[in-house]
Amino acid sequence: MSSGRKKLFDENTALNAAMDVFWQKGYVGASLTDLTKRMGINKPSMYSAFGNKEALFVKATQCYIDTKMKPLISLLFEEKVTLKQRLKNHMMSIVAMQCDTSDAKGCYLALCQSELVSGDIPEQAEQLLKEADAMPIQVYTELFNSDAEAIKLGLNNNAQANALSLYTILKGTASMARSGIDKSELEYSIDSILVGIGVQ
């Protein structure tokens, strides 16, 4: 079948490196020079392996969704944990990630999302970002509509609106984290919003 020289770099490792760069600098801010330097490869290698910058971004973002977002979502559906505790686990884990400055990262989606506004992101990437961005609202709505404990609290009556409240907090903390606010200072806000929507 195939012959020829073997690839000298691991595609997955390179993709993770690319994800980090996009995470730090956004789509436009991450230049090919930045990307390939951190990926440890040259531009032609990158183009032959991933296609172009947009395709690389799409794959990196998909990687982010699978390895970073989904584990956070699964916290909402753990068994033998109260709804309030699940929500707190979920929110606090997100905040912890948002506030993690170990690699000078901001918030992946928040950073890229603002580029959606200025129209600097190509179509395919835009689609994926919008889907990823809308994911939490759908998940929260589903949670409030299906979870027994949530229904008992009546959260299903305002499922969409309550989902929006959670999401608002999530976006707010992302923005705050980018401003360098400490994780502990955000815990209070999370408690407040949970009280506000009636999660006791």
Rg of the chain over all Cα atoms, to the nearest angstrom: 19
User: Looking at residue 79, what DSSP letter applies?
Assistant: T
Q: Which is nearer to DNA, 44 or 180 (CB)?
A: 44
Tokens of 40: 């440890």
SS3 content of the chain, % helix, strand, coil (to 5): 80, 0, 20
Residue whose C-alpha is closest to residue 85's, from 39, 142, 42, 147:
147
> Does residue 175 bind a copy of itself (CB under 8 A)?
yes
Verify binding: residue 125, a copy of itself, rule CB under 8 A.
Answer: no
Q: Tell me the DSSP string of 14-73.
A: HHHHHHHHHHHHHHHHS-HHHHHHHHTS-HHHHHHHH-SHHHHHHHHHHHHIIIIIHHHH
Helices and strands, number each (H, E), in the chain: 11, 0
Smallest gap from Cβ 122 to DNA, in A, equals 8
Report d(CA 66, CA 121) in Å as an integer: 21
133 touches which of a copy of itself, DNA, none (CB within 5 to 8 A by kind)?
A: a copy of itself
- Give least dist CB 9 to DNA, A: 5
**Subset of residues 35 to 74 that bind DNA, contact rule: CB under 7 A:** 41-45, 47-49, 52-54
Residue 130 in the binding site for DNA (CB under 7 A): no
Binding of DNA by 13 (CB under 7 A)? no
Of the pair 12, 181, the CB lying nearest a copy of itself is at: 181
195 sits near a copy of itself (criterion: CB under 8 A): yes
Count interface residues toward a copy of itself (CB under 8 A): 49
Q: Which residues bind DNA (CB under 7 A)?
A: 1-9, 28, 30-34, 41-45, 47-49, 52-54
Q: Which residues bind a copy of itself (CB under 8 A)?
A: 24-26, 28-29, 106, 110-111, 113-120, 130, 133-134, 158, 160-162, 164-165, 167-176, 178-179, 181, 185-186, 188-189, 191-197
